[in-house]
A and B are shown apart, each in its own frame.
Chain A
Amino acid sequence: MTNAMPGTQSAVRPLVEVKDLTVDFVSRDATVRAVNGVSFDVMPGEVLCIIGESGSGKSVTLRSLMRLHPKARTVIAGHMRVGDYDILSLSEKEMNAVRGAAISMVFQEPMTALDPVYTIGEQIAETVMRHERCSRETADKRALELLQMVKVPSPERRLKAYPHELSGGLRQRAMMAVALSCRPTLLLADEPTTALDATVQIQVLIVLRRLQEDFGMGVIFVTHDLGVAAQIADKVAVMYAGRIVEYGTVRDVLLNPKHPYTLGLMASTVNGQKKGEDIDAIPGSPPDLRALPPGCSFAPRCRLADAACEADFPAPVIRAGGHMTRCFKANGEIRPMEAAGIA
């Protein structure tokens, strides 16, 4: 077990093990460390939510699990295991056989994530034929079943539709049908509901959650919406500037947050405050990854920061139940209200 995950003491082997993942994007003028020493586990049938602002490295972490970054400009280090696959030691050909089969992905914007000149049916059948080497008829039949499974109304007609002929919610379901077509053991979801209306969002989440339980899939779900995370997650990882700063069960992290950043995120949601009152936003903006401060990356925006915070990045501290934080201030008797600036 990683030291980030001592809470999982069951005999079952985790489906996903990520240890000390770092991802560097190399360009001519600068190298940017987008992910900086991230570790986490996902058990079979478990949903991990990665929460964070834009640029915190959550999507980069997700894409790394499928090695989707442009090879020439990316340096990935650390260890990633999904099922029996050691992701970083696979050849490109082996990786391609894993993509879309054992591991698959649902993207944020279903309008741009589907090929505009192929029908929905063709795009689903293509994946099935690629991985199962079956005939076109079998693949077409499977595509129909998949559309029924993700609850697309009149699926026969929708198979022949092009992406621009469907609504946002239906497109995202079609995207899910593509992702689920070869019964993956791990589903990666990159903000799949962000581009949708609130009502459609909930429908898609319900379908996703039900299929996840039916298939027993592990899911890593990236979002910046705490409400979505609360609905779907078993475990939550909060990322800031390329690091996981708080990690634990959904109950621990969202009901009993310890890190001032998580507290700030909770305080900046629109739930619960009085009408007309300003939303309590975290002051400042996420740091420039090319020029990170030497100490805690969150220190410049943190109300509790002192000299110690600006000197070193805090080491992970793990509480009972595997609740991990990386914050000097969260270790002692932190008063959550004070940290969020509400007191």
Chain B
Amino acid sequence: MWLYAARRVLFTIPIGLGVTIICFALIYLAPGDPVQSLLPPDATANDIAQLKHYYGLDKPIPVQYILWLGHALTGDLGISIQTNRPVTDEVWRALGNTVSIATISAVLAMIIALGLGIVAATNIGGWADRLATAIAVFGVSVPTFWLAVVLVIVFAVQLGVLPATGMGSKGSNTFSWFEWSEARYAVLPIVAMTLTPLGILMRTTRASLADILSQDFIQTLRAKGLSETAVIRHAIANALPQILAMFGLQLGYLIGGSILIETIFTWPGTGFLLNKAILTRDIPLLQGTILVLAMAFVGINLIVDLIQTLVDPRIKRI
């Protein structure tokens, strides 16, 4: 068990290194020159060279990479070109904002998906199954940006019960989950974020439960005289590894990929930050954000893998 965990942790090192190389290569893959966008069009060659030297862009690329990696490992991701603040601070604050709503959304999606999936898998072909499947299909097919806009129109504009954008009346610094006047700003982003993982998790739950309920040992459980509830408990224990793996992926996507939702609701999270960095060609900020998000994704999958060994005895326990 501990050996497995240690090996699994070691495996993340090459993955992490690969991620840093891709992040760094972004500067050279992206069209346009970050230095040029900072200077007026009539800047002299001398000005350009000076600025390049200031950001270290005149050194050979491998040297630049090693320097950047060394800084990144010590938590220094450089200075944002646009705001002149440390990238680490910017990303860290945004990550906190995103992780909170992403986790709530993923857990919410998981709970509802488990409920719907169980109902569907135990009534395959019945009306409850069809209804639950319809909800799942709606969840995976409706574009979240469309849903986000509709939510704003209905709840913010027409009903006026929830705020449309932002993170609290006085900005993200004073945001609190424990005061409704602040927390209500998170409601619409969370609802919009929940729908897609809800659909995907529900379909995973339904499919894996249905598969397990058709296996031989389910008949043994019935032959032992167990109640239907106890039989379903056994089935869920068997389906859990699969559902958990999907949950980890979804949580990773939500933390890394909610650019559209965060932009529509101007929620100051990582997606919002990423969008800003792309639009302003803020390469250090872009690199830093992507690096942190990719690492978060790797980390979540590592945690899920480790939890798997606890819930599934068939994974070799060495």
Contacts and interface: CB of A to CB of B under 8 A. Distances in A.
Chain A: interface size category = 20 to 34
A116 B222 contact: no
A168 interface: no
- Which one of A66, A116, A126 has the greatest number of beta carbons of chain B within 10 Å? A116
B224 A117 contact: no
B83 interface: no
Nearest to A175: B220
Nearest to A116: B314
Contact of A100 (B225, B234, B311): B225
Contacts of B223: 66, 68, 99-100, 104-105, 107
Interface string A103-134: 01101010011111111000000110011000
Nearest to A119: B313
Contacts of A97: 225
A113 B220 contact: yes
A100 B219 CA distance: 12
A101 interface: yes
A112 B238 CA distance: 13
B216 A109 contact: yes
A162 B314 contact: yes
A203 interface: no
Chain B at the A interface: mostly helix, strand, loop or mixed?
Answer: helix
A117 B215 CA distance: 13
Nearest to B217: A115
Given A112-B216, A115-B238, A118-B234, A68 B314 contact: no
Given A162-B313, A162-B314, A164-B314, A114 B224 contact: no
A66 B219 CA distance: 11
Interface residues of B, number: 20
A5 interface: no
A269 interface: no
A256 interface: no
Given A116-B314, A117-B313, A178 B224 contact: yes
Interface in A118-176: 118-119, 126-127, 130-131, 162, 164, 175
A98 interface: yes
B215 A112 contact: yes
B136 to A, nearest CB: 24
Nearest to A182: B225
B221 A115 contact: yes
Nearest to A161: B313
Contacts of A114: 217, 220
B231 to A, nearest CB: 10
A126 B314 contact: no
Contact of A127 (B215, B224, B311): B224
Interface in B189-226: 215-217, 219-226
A313 B225 CA distance: 38
A68 B223 CA distance: 7
B174 interface: no
Given A162-B313, A162-B314, A117 B222 contact: no
B82 to A, nearest CB: 52
Given A116-B314, A118-B234, A118-B237, A126 B224 contact: yes
A28 to B, nearest CB: 11
Nearest to A92: B228
A74 to B, nearest CB: 13
Given A115-B217, A118-B234, A127 B313 contact: no
A240 to B, nearest CB: 25
B4 to A, nearest CB: 16
A23 B217 CA distance: 23
A2 interface: no
Contacts of A101: 225
A99 B217 contact: no
Nearest to B239: A117
Interface string B217-250: 1011111111100100010011000000000000
Given A115-B234, A115-B238, A162-B314, A130 B217 contact: no
Question: What 4 A-B pairs come out closest when comparing CB atoms?
Answer: A100-B225, A99-B225, A100-B224, A112-B216
Interface of B: 215-217, 219-227, 230, 234, 237-238, 311-314
27 contacts: A98-B225, A99-B223, A99-B224, A100-B223, A100-B224, A100-B226, A101-B225, A105-B220, A112-B217, A113-B216, A113-B217, A113-B219, A114-B217, A115-B217, A115-B220, A115-B234, A115-B238, A116-B238, A117-B311, A117-B314, A118-B234, A119-B313, A126-B224, A126-B230, A127-B224, A162-B314, A175-B220
Given A105-B223, A107-B216, 11 more contacts: A98-B225, A99-B223, A100-B225, A100-B226, A105-B220, A107-B223, A112-B215, A116-B217, A126-B224, A126-B226, A127-B226
